Structure formats: structure tokens, C-alpha cells
Structure 1
């Protein structure tokens, strides 16, 4: 069965913070709800230390994942069922469905566990 990953416009509503009335307002980045598990710099150990925020981008909504050391990765939130794409385009990004409404996004030697709405694709 082919499955697609969909990220609604208010991706933040699941676990990444609340969407405000003004979608172009300040990014969300406060409180425990904004933290996601990440394994950075090739580590296999996931820790809930990365902060997330969504904001407008050149190609629609963007997800930014901030590392505790000040580093970050930016992803374009795609609306065609592919999920995320690196906004900077430098590193290959893969998405693995974990189940329970979660995915694992890996880009270079960093990995993130993020909430997602996963729906079966339409049969043609």
C-alpha cells in the first residue's frame, strides 16, 4: 500500500505549538510542546532538545528545527503529499513513517521525530 504524508497548514497544532489567527505572525518557539526528539551529528540517541517553529517561506509554509547548540535546519512544508523538503537544498532528506502519527526526518547526519498526519493515497 502506497502511503502519503500530509502536513496541514497548521502543522504546529499537533505538537509544535498553536497556530495564531495571523499565520504570518511570530514563529512559535516556547514551552515543552515545541520540543521534538532529535539525534544530532550522527548520534543514534534521540533526545527531546530541539525546538520547532513554523513561519512563512518563499514557497509557502516552512518548518525550522533549532538545535541546542544554535544550529538549525529549514524545511519547506509540501502540500502535494511528499511531506518536507530541505529549504536550503544542500542535503538529501529522507522521511520514514514511524506510526502513531509520527515520522522520522533525516537530513545529512541529523534526524528528527515529528508529528504528521499520514493518509493512504488515492487509488487511480
Structure 2
């Protein structure tokens, strides 16, 4: 009797596991931005910028096409961006201008219109 129970339990567990693997994450809400995820990759508009405000700073979640993400903060008082969390530092590129913010976090690079950073979320 015990082996039959194990077979039924194993089949039920396998079915439950298979069903949970088939669920896709929802498409992130936000604006498309240019990013290059990894070393040697060209910038493409394949990332999504999602924003939320918290006092003097605006928090951003940059969604990568592979499901990864980065969190950055924009300080409205100082007009500066920084990493919201994580071990890698944010390095602003010399390519940045008043119109475009270009920066890297680790090997990942991002190019965001400055207006997107300065616009308060709704």
C-alpha cells in the first residue's frame, strides 16, 4: 500500500510543479528605454523604466528583457542619480548631457532621457 501512495503523491507533486513553471510574469508597466545588458552588447530600446515617488527622491525600477532588474534613485533637490540597492556602484558616463543620462551599473549600461527622470510619477 505504501508504494501506491508514493506514486500518487509523486505524480500530483510533478503536476503541480509543471503547472507553476508555465506561468509568465506580467509585462512591466512603464516607458521603453535603451539599455545594454552585459559586456560588449549594443544599446537597444529593450528595457522598461517604471517610476514611483517618495518625498524628495524618485525611485525607478529598470526591467531587463531577461526578467532581471535594477533599482535607481533620482534626487530632485540635487539632480543626481544613484543606485537604489545592490552591490554595484552607478557610474555616470561622460556621454551624459542635460538631455540624456548615460550611466553604467556593473557591466550593464543605460541611456535615459533626462526628462523621464525629472517627471514626477502620477
Whether TM-score is above 0.5 comes out as yes
Which of 62, 78, 81 aligns to 2:78? It is 81
Q: Which residue of 2 aligns with 1:42?
A: 39
Aligned ranges 1:16-95 → 2 under 5 Å: 29-30=29-30, 34-57=31-54, 60-95=57-92
Q: Between Structure 1 and Structure 2, which shows a larger proportion of helix residues?
A: 2
How does the TM-score come out when normalised to structure 1?
A: 0.60
CA deviation after TM superposition for structure 1 residue 86, in Å: 0.6
Are the equivalent residues in 1 in contact too, given 2:58–2:76 (CA < 8 A)? no
Q: Which residue of 2 aligns with 1:109?
A: 107
Superposed CA RMSD in Å reads 2.4
What is the distance in 2 between the residues matched to 1:81 and 1:44?
A: 31
- Which structure has the higher relative contact order (CA within 8 Å, separation 6+)? 1
CA deviation after TM superposition for structure 1 residue 99, in Å: 3.5
Q: Between Structure 1 and Structure 2, which shows a larger proportion of strand residues?
A: 1
Larger radius of gyration: 2
How does the TM-score come out when normalised to structure 2?
A: 0.61
